[in-house]
Structure 1
Amino acid sequence: MHFIIFDLEFNQEFSSLQHSDKNISQYPFEIIQIGALKLDEEFNTIATFNRYVKPTIYTKISPFITELTGITTERLLTEALFPEIYKAYEAFIGGNESVFCIWGKSDIKELFKNAEYHQLSTRLLPRLFINVQPYVSKYLSISQKKLLRLQHAVELLNIPMTYAFHNALYDAYYTAEIFKRIYSISGQPVFYDPSYVAVKLRQRQPKRTIDTDKLLQQFEKMYARNMTEEEQEIIKLAYKMGKTNQFLK
């Protein structure tokens, strides 16, 4: 058995949506980078994976994502498409008997959603996973309702900050270092059922349209000035990301 500690970077820029044949809510956050470490049962790193992905759902990288990760539209133009990267990632994992380790559930959800969108089989992906994030709060005797950001957890655990954050490989590295510290209290891996998530999504209330003008007017009222075009795009993206409920504590 191996532990696959992985992290993803996403993009979602609706203004550059390639196709419009589906409801917008059906489009996933598009994966633009996969970073992972493979650990043996003694927590030794035996392999790493780091690949960027050429986007096919959204033609442009959001300015917010570029500012956060440093990844630009131009940076990804020469990269391989998701199906090729996904197959390479499957080969790296080496079978579904491994255990995924993640910082928050959004990464595993989006991995399966991206595979489904591209009509790729997920039978070789591990179904057992450990969400490291809540166990850090337990380890530090903090309320488990208070989920820490990765960088904050790294700081509290005195892990040397050798690399920048918001890079999939580096964030996977930090998650692995945290996992080694808290493994004794992390409990047994739990089963991930993507079909259960799909059922929950289908039961959502009918989609309601955002009044973008009023949203932006509210921010302009709060800051007593007009928002720039870049600020407007960041506000709209942040609102849409919040609507996915991925970041609820």
Structure 2
Amino acid sequence: MPTFVVFDLEFTTWRGALENDWAAPGQLREIVQIGALRISEDHTVVDAYEALVRPVVHPELSPYFTDLTGIRQEEVDRDGLPPAEAFGGFLTFCHGQTVLSYGNDMVVLGENTGWARARGEEITPGFLGAAFLNLRPWVNTVAPVTESANVGRLWKVLGLPKPVAGEEHSALFDCYSFAAAIRHLCSTGATLPEGCL
């Protein structure tokens, strides 16, 4: 049965960073959490991937990031993987799939894999095993009410039941919110863009 992957990232941030596109000196979008779901063509979740990642340039999380995501420093210190290991695990999970995000998270993933490789870390497999696509324009066109919503709020603005326990800005919860939105929109007659399956 054909499948596709939806994914979401949480990455280092500070108050005002989003509005300034992380342009302040020293601000990098280092990945701290990866969430992904493998979805079948009937929109059933068939597998999940989740990892905490230890940032290298800013190993100490900002209070703003912790308040936003609920991810605590002690969790990252205890359970966080080295970046290359987490990225390799995620890319293995995605191998041979179309990988959908709600926004340009693939750009952040590309930045982070580039930094890891520049530090001499080996990441396998490479990007060639997966096709990444930003599905936000499709979602916003099919359901204009979603235009100002982040991925973790899609279920709410579409009037859907909460997909799983948790809160927005947790990567895996955000994936479930995204998957619920896709399932709902397809059930109302919308067709995913070509190449998603």
Q: Normalising TM by the smaller chain, what interval?
A: 0.7 to 0.9
| Residue 138 of structure 1: how far off its partner (Å) | 2.5
Q: Does 1:173 align with 2:172?
A: no
Partner residue, 1:80: 81
RMSD: 2.7
Matches within 5 A, 1:56-205: 56-78=56-78, 79-93=80-94, 95=95, 97-105=96-104, 107-119=105-117, 120=123, 122-131=126-135, 133-140=136-143, 142=144, 146-161=147-162, 162=164, 163-183=166-186, 184-189=190-195
| Residue 116 of structure 1: how far off its partner (Å) | 1.0
The residue matched to 1:34 in structure 2 has which SS?
strand
Query: Which consecutive residues of structure 1, in runs of 5 or more, have no partner in the other structure?
Result: 14-23, 191-249
Task: With the length of structure 1 as denominator, give the TM-score of the two structures.
Answer: 0.62
Q: Is the 8 A contact 2:13 2:29 kept in 1?
A: yes
| Residue 171 of structure 1: how far off its partner (Å) | 0.3
Q: Separation in 1 of the partners of 2:26 and 2:142?
A: 37
Deviating 4+ runs (over 6 angstroms) = 24-27
Q: Is the 8 A contact 1:11 1:62 kept in 2?
A: yes
The residue matched to 1:77 in structure 2 has which SS?
helix
Q: Separation in 2 of the partners of 1:74 and 1:139?
A: 41
Offset from partner CA, 1:25-55 (integer Å, 9 cap, x none):
7974100100110012222211101111112
Larger helix proportion, structure 1 or 2? 1
Q: Is the 8 A contact 1:137 1:148 kept in 2?
A: no
Q: Separation in 2 of the partners of 1:130 and 1:189?
A: 12
Query: Which consecutive residues of structure 2, in runs of 5 or more, have no partner in the other structure?
Result: 15-23, 118-122
Task: With the length of structure 2 as denominator, give the TM-score of the two structures.
Answer: 0.76
Higher relative contact order (CA 8 A, sep 6+): 2
Would you say how many aligned residue pairs link Structure 1 and Structure 2?
175
- Between Structure 1 and Structure 2, whose CA radius of gyration is higher? 1
The amino acid that maps onto 2:100 is C
